[in-house]
Amino acid sequence: MSDLKEIIKLYFSKNLLIVFLMGIVSGLPLYLILSTLAIWLTRENIDLSTIGLFSLTQIPWTVKFLWAPILDNYKIPFLTNYFGRRKSWLMVIQFFLSISVILLGINNPAGNILVNFLETDLIINQIYLTALFALFVSFFSASQDIVIDAYRIEILKESEQGAGAAMTQAGYRIGGIISGAGALYLREYISWELVFISLGLIILLFFLITIFLPDTINEKTRDTGARDYFNPLKEFIFRVNFRRVLLILLFIFSFKLCDAVAGVMANPFYVKIGFTNIEIANASKILGIFATIIGVFIGGIFVKYYGILNALLISGFLQMLSNLLFFFLSEIGPNYNFLLITVLGENISGGLGSASFVAYLSRLCNLNYTATQYALLSSFMGIARTFVASPSGFFVEIMGWSSFFLFSTFFALPGLLILFWMKKKFPLKSQVAY
């Protein structure tokens, strides 16, 4: 009973609740691009190969470490003096993020625009503008995550990092409900344009909330030597050892690879197999999100009591098994009850894996370089989601749904094998900064 009270007290502390709120605004644009946009494009009869290629709009997530040192070290004139470095960057980014979401929604991906160029009428397919605005959303969303990740690591104690990872992921999923199920429900009554405008205004609301956030401890105690662009990378390499760095980066790249490959096609799969928007919203966006939240809280507890590496090993194995549920669903057909089972299995295991994975990345960071190092490490995960997953639509068109999901399951094996090797050969304490 005392352990339960301790856990409840931990999760409802002020800083953990702040981390939860920041998770919501992080997850909202991410799920909008990865999930809701794919459903919209599928409903507009955009071909699967094109929808799969839309994962390339996530490129900013894979290269966000390039501008992370700017967000980590430099001030915004006037704003930083009043709001602090982290909050001032966050406010500017959230403003432009809200505008980008609105622009994405008011453009019709299935339409065409007639443009007169050099006295010549040109017809431009608006799918390209949709991709451009999605890229804008991705850029500002990735930038927002750089700042929020640094803010989370700096505002929490070491003992709170596992719970902080869980609260972050829980917030992510609530953001996913808003931009996923919320968007699909709204679409039954209003246009896509108004749906996206509404989501953009919600992000603007978080802009106002950011003003009242407390400063981090690291605001005034920062190592001035951190301004060197390459210092964060050099510190990490020398601390961990170059050979181990390569192994860690390879693990980060491959750990959620199976989720990335299958996840790009999950929502188009639901549409193509015959489920309605409401059924998808209820199962995938409502039940699925709450299942993920259950998973991330379990993940936070696993990290606390069993250690990060053990939690990663368990969750990685469960993630691999959950991909098989999509295979069985494709064989059974549009059975709503089995859809619920599939969604529950996939999201609980994914949530458990995300919580332990975020805790792992957070532990690898030096507090003097939180934004840059976390951005660099998480970018390797983004590579899988962006580049490896982009041909998924082509694979589906060649293989069919059943073979595709069976094929995607085997992408979990490299990450599990590397993790098992790391767990045996060098402990986590040899990788972290003190």
Superfamily the domain 13-430 falls into: MFS general substrate transporter like domains (1.20.1250.20)
Distance, CA of 369 to CA of 233 (rounded, Å): 9
pLDDT single digits (tens) 170-200:
888 788 888 888 888 898 888 888 999 999 9
pLDDT single digits (tens) 250-267:
888 888 888 888 877 888
141: tokens are 């969303």
Q: Which pLDDT score is estimated for 220?
A: 46
Q: Which pLDDT score is estimated for 204?
A: 92
Distance, CA of 33 to CA of 179 (rounded, Å): 9
Q: What pTM value is reported for the model?
A: 0.70
pLDDT for 56 beyond 80:
yes
Q: Which pLDDT score is estimated for 19?
A: 87
Query: Domain ranges in the chain?
Result: 13-430
Q: Which pLDDT score is estimated for 6?
A: 65
Q: For residue 268, give the H/E element and its range.
A: helix 257-273
pLDDT single digits (tens) 351-378:
888 888 888 888 788 777 776 777 778 7
Question: Using an 8 Å Cβ cutoff, are 31 and 376 in contact?
Answer: no
Confidence of residue 133 (pLDDT cuts 50, 70, 90): very high
> DSSP letters along 144-197, please?
HHHHHHHHHHHHS-GGGHHHHHHHHHHHHHHHHHHHTHHHHHHHTTS-HHHHHH
Question: Using an 8 Å Cβ cutoff, are 38 and 52 in contact?
Answer: no
385: tokens are 């989601």
pLDDT for 297 beyond 60:
yes
Q: Which pLDDT score is estimated for 62?
A: 80
pLDDT single digits (tens) 69-104:
788 778 888 888 888 888 889 999 999 999 999 999
DSSP state of 218: G
pLDDT single digits (tens) 157-173:
766 777 787 788 788 87
DSSP state of 292: H
Distance, CA of 324 to CA of 37 (rounded, Å): 25
Task: Calculate the CA dihedral of residues 141, 142, 147, 152 and round it to 10 degrees.
Answer: 90
More confident residue, 380 or 416: 416
